[in-house]
Amino acid sequence: MFYPGCQLGAHSPEYVLKSYEFLRKDYGAGVFLGCCGAPAYWAGDTELMDVNLGHIRKTWLKSGSPVFVFACATCESIFNTFLPEIQRVSLYSLLARSDDIRPARFFAEASVFDPCNARGDPEMEQAIRTLARKPGTALSELPEKNRCCGYGGNMRVANPKLYGIIAKNRAEMGVKPYIVYCVNCREVFLSQDKDCVHILDAVFGLPRCTNVPRIDERRGNAILVKKELMKMIAGRDFTPTKREWDEVKLIIDNDLAKSVDRKLIALSDIKEAIWLAEKTGDKFIDEETDVCQCCMVKPALTYWVQYRTTGVNEYEVYGAYYHRMRIGKEEG
């Protein structure tokens, strides 16, 4: 059973689809889309974590207790800790054993950046090096292995300044380009302008990507993976549930779009906040400029958006931010 995790397909649908094609052809594998629960684990949300683990265990038993194939070291680490009864194998180990896999050569010289959660998994680490050397790439080891790229532990949200320091440090750890096998690491290094590729780019000869997908793009990629797999396996279409604010049209400057993405605010969050304000009338209006300011309170965050109506269900966005504070609307 191929368990790609939640980030692999969100980063690149081809990573999941090509890997599944290989596993189905050579091993008759099935596929299980889901999240291992790492974000809940990092956040200390034991209740959510237990519910998620229960769902995974139930699905595994219902499927006949298959071996799980992992492309994500974090997923494999979570399973090793909380679901040790599930037998595990690395996707990269299976790829390295195949005589049919002929990886493309992106660099003459490179270093493998081993993610923190590959620590203690020498088979996975060695498989990556076998695949990287197949096309003739000369590898130089980094001075330290298994250092966190900065993504782990929800650090980017909890402590953005520390995240920036660690990401820069890891990008500068080696002078040669990096070959990575964690899409979170790849995202961090691309944001630091570090020359790198994912090992699956080489394995499947995929075009080299130089852009970090934004939050909404990642959500779209994840939906695309599910649609393609359902069509391939079940022969039917998957249509995600439509939300009322999905039809809201935004006009947003590219620099502002990048800024809100760095703050981990999705455009869909902005759409929802505006839709809610327009539906309820709960907003501030600057009568001189017609610019509105609204807020949307969520369980952990309060979002604020500045916008102006430009057409039917169309709005120009001037700013967006959030804070971890709830504002009461009634005096107690």
Mind listing the pLDDT tens digit for each residue in 95-138? 999 999 999 999 999 999 999 999 989 999 999 999 999 999 99
How far are the Cα atoms of 81, 105, 212, 236 from residue 218, in angstroms, in the given order?
27, 27, 9, 23
d(CA 168, CA 166): 5
Which distant-in-sequence residues (6+ apart) come within 8 Å of 176 by Cβ?
107, 109, 110, 111, 140
Better pLDDT: 208 or 168: 168
Contact (CB, 8 A) for 53 and 35? no
pLDDT value at residue 260: 94
Question: How many C-beta atoms surround the C-beta of residue 97 within 10 A?
Answer: 11
Confidence tier at 208 by pLDDT (50, 70, 90):
confident
Q: Residue 331 above 70 pLDDT?
A: no
Q: What is the pLDDT of residues 302-324, one digit of tens each?
A: 999 999 999 999 999 999 999 88
Confidence tier at 164 by pLDDT (50, 70, 90):
very high
pLDDT value at residue 325: 74
pLDDT value at residue 300: 81
pLDDT value at residue 155: 86
d(CA 268, CA 216): 7
Q: Residue 263 above 70 pLDDT?
A: yes
pLDDT value at residue 275: 98
Q: Rounded to the nearest 5 degrees, what angle is found at the Cα of 127, between the Cα atoms of 126 and 129?
A: 65
Average pLDDT over residues 196-225: 92
Confidence tier at 158 by pLDDT (50, 70, 90):
confident
In this prediction, what percent of the chain has a pLDDT beyond 90? 86
How far are the Cα atoms of 255, 274, 314 from residue 319, in angstroms, in the given order?
11, 12, 16
d(CA 259, CA 92): 35
Q: What is the pLDDT of residues 219-248, one digit of tens each?
A: 999 999 999 999 999 999 998 889 999 999
pLDDT value at residue 167: 95
Average pLDDT over residues 71-93: 96
pLDDT value at residue 328: 67
d(CA 8, CA 181): 10
d(CA 80, CA 74): 10
d(CA 113, CA 151): 14
Q: Residue 332 above 80 pLDDT?
A: no
d(CA 184, CA 315): 33
Average pLDDT over residues 45-65: 97
d(CA 45, CA 67): 27
For the chain, state the CA radius of gyration: 22
Average pLDDT over residues 240-264: 93
